[in-house]
Structure 1
Amino acid sequence: MPRPERALPVARPRTDAGHAWWWVGVHGGAGVSTLERAVPGGRDAGRAWPVSGGSRSVVLVARSSANGIRAAQNAAQQWASGMVTGIDLLGLVVVADAPGRRPKVLQNLVRLVSGAVPRLWEIPWVEPWRLGESPMAHLPKECAPLARDLTRLTRPV
Structure 2
Amino acid sequence: MLVARTNYAGLTAAQHAAREWASGSLGDSVTVEGVLMVPDQPGRLPKSLRHLAQLVAGGLPRSWTAPWVESWRFGPLDPAELPKGLGAVFSDLSLHPIVPRT
1:131 to 74, 77, 96: 74
Note closer, same or farther for the CA distance 1:135–1:107 as it changes in structure 2 (3 Å cut): farther
1:81 to 23, 41, 48: 23
TM-score of the aligned structures, taking structure 2 as reference length: 0.85
How many Å separate the matches in 1 of 2:65 and 2:40?
Answer: 11
2:48 to 100, 105, 117: 105
How many Å separate the matches in 2 of 1:137 and 1:97?
Answer: 22
TM-score of the aligned structures, taking structure 1 as reference length: 0.57
1:92 to 31, 35, 44: 35
**Structure 1 or 2: more strand by fraction:** 1
Contact 1:128/1:138 (8 A) holds in 2 = no
How far 1:98 moved relative to its partner? 0.4
Higher relative contact order (CA 8 A, sep 6+): 2
How many Å separate the matches in 2 of 1:67 and 1:135?
Answer: 27
Aligned partner of 2:89 in structure 1 is 146
Aligned partner of 1:116 in structure 2 is 59
Provide the aligned C-alpha RMSD in A. 1.4
How many Å separate the matches in 2 of 1:149 and 1:82?
Answer: 24
Identity of aligned residues (%): 46
Consecutive unaligned residues of structure 2, counting only runs of 5 or more, are 96-102
Matches within 5 A, 1:18-29: none
How many Å separate the matches in 1 of 2:65 and 2:23?
Answer: 24
